[in-house]
A and B are shown apart, each in its own frame.
Chain A
Amino acid sequence: MSEPKANETKKEPVLKAQHLGIIFGGLKAVDDFCLEIGESELVGLIGPNGAGKTTVFNLLTGVYQPTEGSYYLCGEKMNGKKTHQVVAAGIARTFQNIRLFKKLTVLENVKIAMNMYMHYSLASSILRLPRFWKEEADIEEKAYELLDIVHLKDKADFIAENLPYGQQRRLEIARALATGMKLLLLDEPAAGMNPTETAELLDIINVIRDKFHISVLLIEHDMSLVMKICERIQVIDYGVTIASGKPEEIANNPRVIEAYLGKDDEEVALSC
């Protein structure tokens, strides 16, 4: 439908999705999805309920295998990889309905995401060899650093499910950060948050972009948030991309307004 913005650089884009599509039985949940995300770029993915946004995330993280098209992370083809391999390659995500390891501590939640960087063997863990202590101490330090970024350092020993909602969201982001990803997929990070919490979340997103130079793809229903922070927005409806461009272009795009509000309702527009 719409060509990705032509900000052509020599470097491979962090994410390049080409004509991605998936069919569930007779339903084309996502069709011809094209997207390029450059380094440190923040792109928004919006659309009405059931438009296929989360399906796009599931495609990009290997939960579903695309039936059409292919996608690349920094030039490396990701098709056919399992979720944990995609994560190891550098795409991490958060979930629409928070998925933490509820009965484990905040610190453990973060440490688990660093497991793939740990290499001590079963034998060294059973015999408690020096390697065990060294790696455990190393990741504990790193985990505390990440918790500091999301302002949860003092909550490290709390059981994850006992945290308030906003903090659980932030913990999920810290856990995603711990995987050391290049591209972060945030699925409605501000859902159910109050304005203060949303503002805090915005700060954190900005800090991690500055600090780790990661790219972000964001699904969000809070339009004011999307308009404020996204550099580019892609709109999908019924699995099809209907618009893509700068926030102000999107806000005035008749097709987008139609998708959200129905026909002949331009007056109400996307004023929110």
Chain B
Amino acid sequence: MNVKNPKKHFIAYLINLAGVLVLFFLLMGLFKSNVLGARTAYLMGICTTACYTIVMVTSLNILVGVMGEFSLGHAGFMSVGAYASAIVTNALADAGLPTILLFVIALLVGGVASAITGVLVGIPALRLRGDYLAIVTVAFAEIIRVAFCNFEITGGGRTMSGIAKLSNFYWCFWVTVICVTIMYMFVRSRFGRTVKAIREDYIAASASGVNVTFYKVMTFTFSAFFAGVAGAMYAHYMTAMIPTIFNFNYSAEFLTEVIIGGTGSLTGSIIGAALLSALPELMRQFSTYRMLAYSIVLVLVMIFKPGGIFGTYEFSLTRILKKLLSGELFKGKKKLTDEMGGAAHE
């Protein structure tokens, strides 16, 4: 990256913003014009699901792809964020705050609560590596789930309902854009570089003056924060939730999406999350064979693209534009990349 010329980067950021805006207005046009008739609400639902899934998967990818540690308990952080934000917004319900402010408060509370949990879990857990750490994260998520099943304040195992509906697809879209941007900036900074070094060789990293434990806990916390934000989005979109959905399967689903998208590629995570949250819905016509078809898709991707759809490659709108302008891109490839571009910004 050419750090000596920030202007070039700002132009690139603007181009990406323009791409996101185009996508946003396309989707908004689609939903507002009601061309899909009765299916609009259904499609919007899928897109909103895709939004918080994207945040979840991208934040998990920071752990798995960038830091190189498996977490099988990411849904645990999500539930912490979801419940913490729901409790706070319930308490503030009568304060007469505008919806948007309440939503932002919910997101921050969810994120911070989850981040604090991240620190508490991270400090002891990150002494471990690899499989051992993965097992600890599973245990953590299970503890959280069981605890939330028993606390009176979280509904005591029953569905916690009546959470204020603060978010809709449009809000979720922008929250997702902001979250992904922040994570992208994190990865492309000294922090991301250092964390990648720890992934590559933690002994060499500490011999290069890197405080390995500090950066690991920091990244863990950072990732947990966004999982919490995603949880808050979830809670205030669904308005009802039960602790048991934040189970091991849910965590494993996020991990699958990270791997399908490409470990280490944030744009890959976006594709993976968007694709896999839409796929089960799109395959409803296969009805009983739905989950079978879903599994087959996963197996095929793993056989033909073991590194995930994107591998470690990052999709870049500016790169495509540059190639387009210089006419280097031949037609077949163009179509493919354009499709990917559309999905990348969803």
Contact = CB atoms under 8 A, between A and B. Distances in A.
B209 A87 contact: yes
Interface residues of B, number: 28
A113 B200 contact: no
Contacts of B9: 128
B326 interface: no
Interface string B300-312: 0000000000001
Instruction: State the majority secondary structure of interface residues on B.
Output: helix
A175 B200 CA distance: 15
Interface in A48-103: 61, 63, 82-84, 87-88, 92-93, 95, 99-103
B97 interface: no
A112 to B, nearest CB: 4
Main DSSP-derived SS at the A contact region = helix
A95 B203 CA distance: 10
A272 interface: no
A126 interface: yes
B3 A113 contact: no
Contact of B204 (A99, A127, A178): A99
Interface stretch (B108-116, B131-139, B184-192): B184-192
B201 A100 contact: yes
Contact of B207 (A93, A104, A132): A93
Chain B CB count within 10 A is highest, among A61, A101, A140, for A101
Interface stretch (A116-124, A201-209, A236-244, A248-256): A116-124
Nearest to A126: B185
B186 A126 contact: yes
Interface string B200-236: 1101111111111000000000000000000000000
Contacts of A125: 185-186, 189-191
B145 interface: no
B196 interface: yes
B185 A128 contact: yes
Interface of A: 61, 63, 82-84, 87-88, 92-93, 95, 99-104, 108, 111-113, 115-116, 118, 120, 122, 125-128, 132-133, 135-137, 140, 175-176, 178-179
Given A95-B204, A101-B197, A108-B197, 9 more contacts: A84-B206, A88-B209, A92-B209, A95-B207, A102-B201, A112-B210, A115-B210, A120-B189, A136-B3
Interface of B: 3-4, 6, 9, 13, 182, 185-186, 189-191, 193-194, 196-197, 200-201, 203-212, 312
